[in-house]
Amino acid sequence: MIIDDHTYDLIVIGTGAGGGTLAGALAECGKSVLVLERGGAMDLSDQNVADVELVRNSRYHPGEQWFGTDGDPFPPQMIYALGGNSKIWGGVLERLREQDFAPQRHLDGSSPGWELSYADLAPHYDRAERLYHVHGRRSVDPTEPPRTGDYLHPPRSIEPVLESLRADLARQGVTAYDLPISWSASPLDPSGDAERFGVDVAELSAQVTLRTGARVIRLHVNPSGREVKGVQAEIDGQNWLFTGHVVVLAAGAVNSAALLLRSCNDQHPEGLANGSGQVGRNLMKPQLSSILQLAAHPDSGRYGPGLGINDYYWGDKNVSVPLGQIRNGGGVLQDPLFAESPPLLSLVTRLLPNSLLEQLAVRTVSWWASSGVRPDPANRVSLRGEGLQITYTPNNREAHDRLVYRWLSTIKALEADPATTVVRAFPLHPRGESPLAVLGFACGTVRMGSDPTRSVVDLQGRSHQLVNLYVADASVFPTCPAVGPALTVIALALRLAEHLKRVL
Ligand SMILES: Cc1cc2nc3c(=O)[nH]c(=O)nc-3n(C[C@H](O)[C@H](O)[C@H](O)COP(=O)(O)OP(=O)(O)OC[C@H]3O[C@@H](n4cnc5c(N)ncnc54)[C@H](O)[C@@H]3O)c2cc1C
């Protein structure tokens, strides 16, 4: 083993929305920071692909095989690169709603509240939106939580087809708002992500050392078992050991849990920081269904998400529990989620030649329905030899079905309206649910809370058991709301950075 003889003030593991943001925020704190990232820089040509090749299911799988609930292996969709999953995200950065932090009643049970409130995170949301150049407009979405001012950047213009759809939906009584989107405006790589707004900032500092291709495989503790003493990583086939006064784990909801479980030792036989037995448990990911509609005229098939609809977020006629969010999916040739998802279409996409696939794509308007899920200790990440076992049964199904059927009836009404111009009536609205392999939205496996018997990290993100170990990624979420998790991951990372600046 090669031992790095420098002891860093801080070691950050992972550079996604959590770790990348944190590293950037600590760049100028005057402390030495080591950032260990398993991947490297993602080629520009591999980012933001907008081609039929995308829907052929071949991209964005790192070549790992994990095992699913049925015991069969599957290739997860996961990005190991500077920026993590933010390299292929839709860039929709939304705040959780005030009520998302409170306990919720669902049709099939209930979910606990966060022990943080919206007010606790609001100033960090403000900073997160500024840092990630979020373009949006306040006061259109009826569920929007209170904010101190408007977004710094107005919404970017959206595809003409979406603008027409917004007007068509308004006639159906539906409010479509501009999704708040991170946009860097760089001519080379315009979409905003954690590499651009986090890692690039960190790299400007002489105090930050970035090691790419550094896959952390184990955390070692001191003899008392109360502190992380060393971080073991594999770099170019060799084992390295790094030491730091404070270690922040930000490898994403699946890999952070896996790393803690793999780091078990005599003092922590069930895995590091796992006195509560909750590490790896409560895995959640929003239920995501795509729904397709026939476009009246061909469009580019290449554009991002633009419109959001939260009219059913807290319920609908005859149902007063949260159903979830609808958003347009963007052109299907540019949507990495769509590439994974609908079983019917993935079969079609495999059989059709490129030219026909392209024609189908440019004639399609796609929608995503997203519903939150409840934490369930039986849904979990566990170790299976050198691999990972993902045991997962989605819950809150009825609410999601209601959302999907509500949206189907809305789009059928849209098609029946003679004033509608951009979509056309068609007997079929193919739809499909995201399979298990879509784990980029995962959260919950290292849950946050004040009770060490029921949570893994405290309300700051610090392990209840190891005094110098923090977690700064989506794994700390106690619940999984319907809006995307990333802005909350970023806000929590900025909040943790403030704390670390005080204690380091
Ligand atoms: C196609 C797609 C679209 C999405 N769109 C949106 C959206 O529009 N809005 C939204 O809110 N969310 C979106 N998400 C989800 C969002 O990307 C994630 O919630 C967010 O990236 C989570 O941040 P994280 O820091 O927890 O993990 P990640 O971003 O996954 O980062 C984890 C990092 O850790 C590194 N790592 C992992 N293991 C190790 C190890 N052992 N050693 C060293 N490094 C390691 C990884 O390489 C990666 O850099 C999308 C996800 C996908 C896949």
Contacts of 45 (CB under 8 A, 6+ apart): none
In this model, does residue 335 exceed pLDDT 90? no
Gap from CA of 255 to ligand 1 centroid (Å): 10
Q: How far apart are CA 472 and CA 251, in angstroms?
A: 8
Mean pLDDT, range 176-200, rounded to an integer = 94
Could you read off the pLDDT of 226-240 as tens digits, one per residue? 999 999 999 999 999
Q: What is the predicted pLDDT for the residue at 380?
A: 98
Q: What is the predicted pLDDT for the residue at 354?
A: 81
In this model, does residue 343 exceed pLDDT 70? no
In this model, does residue 5 exceed pLDDT 90? yes
Q: Which atom of ligand 1 is nearest to the CA of 486?
A: 11
Q: Which residue has the least CA distance to atom 47 on ligand 1?
A: 80
Handedness of CA 64, 66, 71, 72 (dihedral sign): negative
Sheet with 177-178, strands from edge to edge, namely 177-178, 307-309, 325-328, 364-371, 287-294, 431-433
Question: Which of 86, 439, 470 maximizes ligand 1 atoms within 8 Å of its Cβ, making it the mutation to test the pocket?
Answer: 86
Helices (H), 66-222: 118-131, 160-171, 194, 200-203
Q: How far apart are CA 483 and CA 370, in angstroms?
A: 7
Gap from CA of 18 to ligand 1 centroid (Å): 8
Residue closest to 19 by CA, chosen among 298, 264, 290, 214: 214
In this model, does residue 50 exceed pLDDT 90? no
Q: How far apart are CA 477 and CA 169, in angstroms?
A: 33
Q: Which atom of ligand 1 is nearest to the CA of 20?
A: 25
20 in contact with ligand 1, CB cutoff 6 A: no
Q: How far apart are CA 467 and CA 458, in angstroms?
A: 11
pLDDT band at 344 (very low <50, low <70, confident <90, very high): low
In this model, does residue 269 exceed pLDDT 90? yes
Q: How far apart are CA 196 and CA 47, in angstroms?
A: 13
Contacts of 241 (CB under 8 A, 6+ apart): 1, 2, 3, 4, 220, 230, 231, 232
CB-CB contact of 301 with 361 (8 Å): yes
Q: Which atom of ligand 1 is nearest to the CA of 335?
A: 1
CA 28 to chain centre: 27
Q: How far apart are CA 13 and CA 25, in angstroms?
A: 15
Gap from CA of 438 to ligand 1 centroid (Å): 11
473 in contact with ligand 1, CB cutoff 6 A: yes
92 in contact with ligand 1, CB cutoff 6 A: yes
Gap from CA of 396 to ligand 1 centroid (Å): 24
- The residue to which tokens 């795509």 are assigned: 290
Mean pLDDT, range 173-183, rounded to an integer = 98
Six token digits for residue 392: 């997962």
136 in contact with ligand 1, CB cutoff 6 A: no
Angle, vertex CA 283, rays to CA 280 and CA 287, nearest 5: 165
CB-CB contact of 182 with 132 (8 Å): yes
- Report, in angstroms and rounded to the nearest whole number, the Rg of the chain calculated over CA atoms: 22
489 in contact with ligand 1, CB cutoff 6 A: yes
Q: What is the predicted pLDDT for the residue at 458?
A: 98
15 in contact with ligand 1, CB cutoff 6 A: yes
Six token digits for residue 28: 């100028």
485 in contact with ligand 1, CB cutoff 6 A: yes
Q: Which atom of ligand 1 is nearest to the CA of 487?
A: 11
Q: What is the predicted pLDDT for the residue at 53?
A: 73
Q: What is the predicted pLDDT for the residue at 80?
A: 98
pLDDT above 70 covers a percentage of the chain that reads 97
Gap from CA of 355 to ligand 1 centroid (Å): 32
Q: What is the predicted pLDDT for the residue at 186?
A: 87
Q: How far apart are CA 254 and CA 446, in angstroms?
A: 9
Q: Which residue has the least CA distance to atom 49 on ligand 1?
A: 84
CB-CB contact of 362 with 422 (8 Å): no
Gap from CA of 104 to ligand 1 centroid (Å): 26
370 in contact with ligand 1, CB cutoff 6 A: no
Q: Which atom of ligand 1 is nearest to the CA of 217?
A: 41
Classify 232 as helix, strand or coil.
strand
Q: How far apart are CA 465 and CA 274, in angstroms?
A: 8
Q: Which residue has the least CA distance to atom 13 on ligand 1?
A: 89
pLDDT band at 464 (very low <50, low <70, confident <90, very high): very high
Q: How far apart are CA 250 and CA 257, in angstroms?
A: 10
Could you read off the pLDDT of 376-418 as tens digits, one per residue? 999 999 999 999 999 999 999 999 999 999 999 999 999 999 9
334 in contact with ligand 1, CB cutoff 6 A: no
CA 169 to chain centre: 28
Measured CA to CA in angstroms, residue 250 lies from 85, 95, 96, 371, 484 at distances of 12, 20, 20, 25, 18
CB-CB contact of 296 with 423 (8 Å): yes
- The residue to which tokens 């409130």 are assigned: 117
- The residue to which tokens 């495999």 are assigned: 350
Q: What is the predicted pLDDT for the residue at 498?
A: 98
Q: What is the predicted pLDDT for the residue at 111?
A: 96
Measured CA to CA in angstroms, residue 160 lies from 165, 166, 173, 400 at distances of 9, 10, 20, 29
Could you read off the pLDDT of 83-140 as tens digits, one per residue? 999 999 999 999 999 999 999 999 999 999 999 999 999 999 999 999 999 999 999 9
Gap from CA of 14 to ligand 1 centroid (Å): 9
| Predicted structure pTM score | 0.97
Q: What is the largest CA-CA distance in the chain?
A: 74
Q: What is the predicted pLDDT for the residue at 56?
A: 66
Q: Which atom of ligand 1 is nearest to the CA of 233?
A: 42
Bridge partner list, 366: 292
Among the residue ranges 116-130, 352-366, 471-485, the one predicted with the least confidence is 352-366
463 in contact with ligand 1, CB cutoff 6 A: no
In this model, does residue 350 exceed pLDDT 60? yes
In this model, does residue 279 exceed pLDDT 70? yes
Among the residue ranges 52-61, 317-326, 445-454, 472-481, the one predicted with the least confidence is 52-61
Mean pLDDT, range 342-367, rounded to an integer = 78
Question: What's the mean pLDDT when you consider all of the chain?
Answer: 94
Gap from CA of 287 to ligand 1 centroid (Å): 17
CB-CB contact of 8 with 207 (8 Å): no
In this model, does residue 255 exceed pLDDT 80? yes
Gap from CA of 256 to ligand 1 centroid (Å): 11
Gap from CA of 284 to ligand 1 centroid (Å): 14
Q: Which residue has the least CA distance to atom 50 on ligand 1?
A: 89
Gap from CA of 251 to ligand 1 centroid (Å): 8
In this model, does residue 217 exceed pLDDT 60? yes
Question: Which of 254, 341, 441, 477 maximizes ligand 1 atoms within 8 Å of its Cβ, making it the mutation to test the pocket?
Answer: 441
Q: What is the predicted pLDDT for the residue at 430?
A: 86
Sketch out the chain's domains with CATH numbers: 2-45+52-503 (3.50.50.60)
Q: What is the predicted pLDDT for the residue at 407?
A: 98
216 in contact with ligand 1, CB cutoff 6 A: yes
Bridge partner list, 36: 13, 211
